[in-house]
């Protein structure tokens, strides 16, 4: 088992990674001094370990469709009916959409109650459940309403991963692949638990320096500018990690086109993403103009088009990238031949 501390002063916590770590939940709850726990789980009841205190189990559904303010309102109503106080604890169990929405409910209930995440997908273990970003969607866009609310602990039980379909694993591998270009050692070939612990360690060190996403934390969005645009342009047929993988290949090509990295490093992007078994080509049926329009809406894009790009000093946020260069690199990206860039 690995313990990764996230050092944020009085908001510090540990992320435990390894088989069976969910069994630590009762100890965590005891240390918090909680007398009641509201467990919100998108997984069967038996996946959630004993909390050691009086517990309300609430079912949840992973997926963007339930990442809404009405879910937050419904959860907070259940917390209140149960009599959850501000010194009790909320526990989430599920994928990243569940940890996001439950994290926001915990941030808002009584103006903030402790939350412990039990992420059950690779994507949630390596990224979503760590770092304190919580959010829900509005019809106008993803993650538009949220709060920074650090968990009191994150238990990344790798036993949960054994039941994941291949496609869900690949979704997480996209986030592991992008770690290669933002300061992680080469994680190819390592056991999954070590890859998760390394990804979480990298994220922890970044979040410790920029909890509120004012600068350095943008690095975590490597490959995400095109990735988010691809998710939207495909109507979310491409999963987040799959889209980030293609966005990572694109970021390498764009950095090469701008003279920031040499061809060998550009090729390394393709090799790393390909190593993890992820698609590296654009879906056949997405229009470059649609992607460009969407990338202009990226939240990093205060002015013009912005990307996190590799360079002589490592990855950094690059603003005002000329649209004609972006369009040229997009045009030269390999395309999936059939309409199905998404392999199930």
Which residues contribute to the site for ligand GLY (CB under 6 A)?
127, 131, 133, 213, 217, 220
Nearer to ligand GLY, 213 or 310 (CB): 213
CB of 217 to ligand GLY, least distance (A): 5
The contacts of residue 36 (CB under 8 Å, 6+ apart) are 53, 54, 55, 56, 82, 83, 84, 85, 88, 89
CB of 132 to ligand GLY, least distance (A): 8
Could you give the CA distance from residue 21 to residue 156 in angstroms, rounded to a whole number? Answer: 7
Nearer to ligand GLY, 12 or 85 (CB): 12
39 three-class SS: strand
Could you give the CA distance from residue 67 to residue 95 in angstroms, rounded to a whole number? Answer: 12
With CA atoms as reference, report the closest residue to 239 among 104, 158, 124, 328: 124
CB of 242 to ligand GLY, least distance (A): 16
**Chain residue whose CB lies nearest ligand GLY:** 220
The contacts of residue 339 (CB under 8 Å, 6+ apart) are 283, 284, 285
CB of 226 to ligand GLY, least distance (A): 16
CB of 136 to ligand GLY, least distance (A): 15
Could you give the CA distance from residue 231 to residue 233 in angstroms, rounded to a whole number? Answer: 6
CB of 187 to ligand GLY, least distance (A): 17
Nearer to ligand GLY, 83 or 314 (CB): 314
CB of 22 to ligand GLY, least distance (A): 22
Could you give the CA distance from residue 255 to residue 196 in angstroms, rounded to a whole number? Answer: 27
Nearer to ligand GLY, 38 or 200 (CB): 200
The contacts of residue 185 (CB under 8 Å, 6+ apart) are 198
Provide the 10 A C-beta neighbour count for residue 252: 28
Could you give the CA distance from residue 275 to residue 267 in angstroms, rounded to a whole number? Answer: 12
Q: What is the DSSP letter of 50?
A: P
67 three-class SS: coil
Nearer to ligand GLY, 155 or 219 (CB): 219
Token pair listed for 313? 């000093």
For tokens 């526990």, name the residue: 91
Nearer to ligand GLY, 146 or 288 (CB): 146
Nearer to ligand GLY, 116 or 123 (CB): 123
Nearer to ligand GLY, 127 or 168 (CB): 127
CB of 133 to ligand GLY, least distance (A): 5
For residues 188, 191, 193 and 196, what is the CA-based torsion angle, rounded to 10 degrees?
0
């Amino acid at each position: 088992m690995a313990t990764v501390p996230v050092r944020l002063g009085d908001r510090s916590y540990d992320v435990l990674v390894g088989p069976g770590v969910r069994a630590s939940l009762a100890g965590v709850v005891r240390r918090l001094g909680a007398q009641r726990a509201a467990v919100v789980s998108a997984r069967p009841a038996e996946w959630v370990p004993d909390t050691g205190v009086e517990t309300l189990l609430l079912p949840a559904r992973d997926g963007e469709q339930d990442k809404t303010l009405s879910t937050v309102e419904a959860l907070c109503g259940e917390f209140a009916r149960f009599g959850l106080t501000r010194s009790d604890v909320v526990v989430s169990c599920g994928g990243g959409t569940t940890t996001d929405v439950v994290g926001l409910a915990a941030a808002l209930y009584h103006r903030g109650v402790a939350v412990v995440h039990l992420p059950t997908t690779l994507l949630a273990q390596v990224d979503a459940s760590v770092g304190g970003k919580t959010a829900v969607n509005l019809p106008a866009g993803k993650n538009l309403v949220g709060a920074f609310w650090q968990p009191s602990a994150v238990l990344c039980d790798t036993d949960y991963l054994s039941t994941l379909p291949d496609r869900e694993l690949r979704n997480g591998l996209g986030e592991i692949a992008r770690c290669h270009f933002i300061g992680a050692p080469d994680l190819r070939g390592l056991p999954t638990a070590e890859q998760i612990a390394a990804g979480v360690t990298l994220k922890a060190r970044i979040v410790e320096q920029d909890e509120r996403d004012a600068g350095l934390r943008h690095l975590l969005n490597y490959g995400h500018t095109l990735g988010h645009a691809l998710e939207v342009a495909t109507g979310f047929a491409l999963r987040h990690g799959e889209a980030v993988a293609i966005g990572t290949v694109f970021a390498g090509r764009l950095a090469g086109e701008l003279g920031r990295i040499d061809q060998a490093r550009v090729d390394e992007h393709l090799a790393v993403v390909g190593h993890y078994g992820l698609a590296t080509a654009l879906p056949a049926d997405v229009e470059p103009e649609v992607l460009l329009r969407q990338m202009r809406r990226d939240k990093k894009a205060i002015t013009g088009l912005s990307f996190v790009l590799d360079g002589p000093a490592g990855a950094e946020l690059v603003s005002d990238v000329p649209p004609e260069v972006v369009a040229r690199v997009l045009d030269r990206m390999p395309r999936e031949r059939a309409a199905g860039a998404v392999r199930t």
